[in-house]
Amino acid sequence: MRRIFVLAMVLFALSGYAQVQFMLPAVSPEDVLQWLRQSALPAAEKAVWLRILPQAFDEGLVDPKIAQAFFQRLVGTPPTFVGEITAIMEELLAQGLSVTHLMNKVSQGIIMGRSWAVITNEIRLRASVLAATHASLSPYRPKAEARASVSVRVGSFAFQARTPTWEDVEVEIAEAISDFIAGGGDINDWSGMEALARTRLLQLRGRGLPSNLVDHVLQVLTPQLIGEIVSQAFQIERR
Number of residues that bind other proteins (CB under 8 A): 83
Closest listed residue to residue 125, CA positions, set 78, 184, 54: 184
Residue type, 192: G
Cβ at position 239, least distance to other proteins in Å? 29
Whether the Cβ atoms of residue 74 and residue 35 lie closer than 8 Å to each other = no
Task: Dump the DSSP string for 198-215.
Answer: HHHHHHHBTTTB-HHHHH
CB of residue 152 vs other proteins: minimum separation in angstroms? 8
Binding residue (CB under 8 A) for other proteins from 29, 41, 70, 227: 70
CB nearer to other proteins: give 94 or 236: 94
- Picking from 140, 146, 144, the residue whose alpha carbon sits closest to that of residue 225 is 140
Q: Which is nearer to other proteins, 22 or 239 (CB)?
A: 22
Position 40 contacts other proteins (CB under 8 A): no
- Judge whether 149 and 59 are in contact, CB under 8 Å: no
Residue 205 is given by DSSP the state B
Query: Does 78 engage in binding with other proteins (CB under 8 A)?
Result: no
CB 162 within 8 A of CB 65: no
Asked if residue 220 binds other proteins (CB under 8 A), the reply is no
Q: Do the bridges between strand 157-158 and strand 153-154 make them parallel or antiparallel, or are there none, so unpaired? A: antiparallel
Q: Considering only residues 80-99, where is the footprint of other proteins by CB under 8 A? A: 94, 96
Q: Is 186 in the site for other proteins (CB under 8 A)?
A: no
- Residue 144's contacts (CB-CB under 8 Å, 6 or more residues apart) are none
Asked if residues 114 and 107 have their Cβ atoms less than 8 Å apart, the reply is no
| Binding track, positions 99-128, relative to other proteins; x by CB under 8 A | --x--x--xxxxxxxx---xx--x------
- DSSP summary character for residue 162: P
For position 191 contacting other proteins by CB under 8 A, the verdict is: no
Window 147 to 166, contacts with other proteins (CB under 8 A): 147-158
Determine, following the binding rule CB under 8 A, whether residue 219 of this chain makes contact with other proteins. Answer: no
Of the candidate spans 34-42, 52-60, 76-84, 226-234, the one that interacts with other proteins by CB under 8 A turns out to be 52-60
Shortest approach of other proteins to residue 227 CB, angstroms?
22
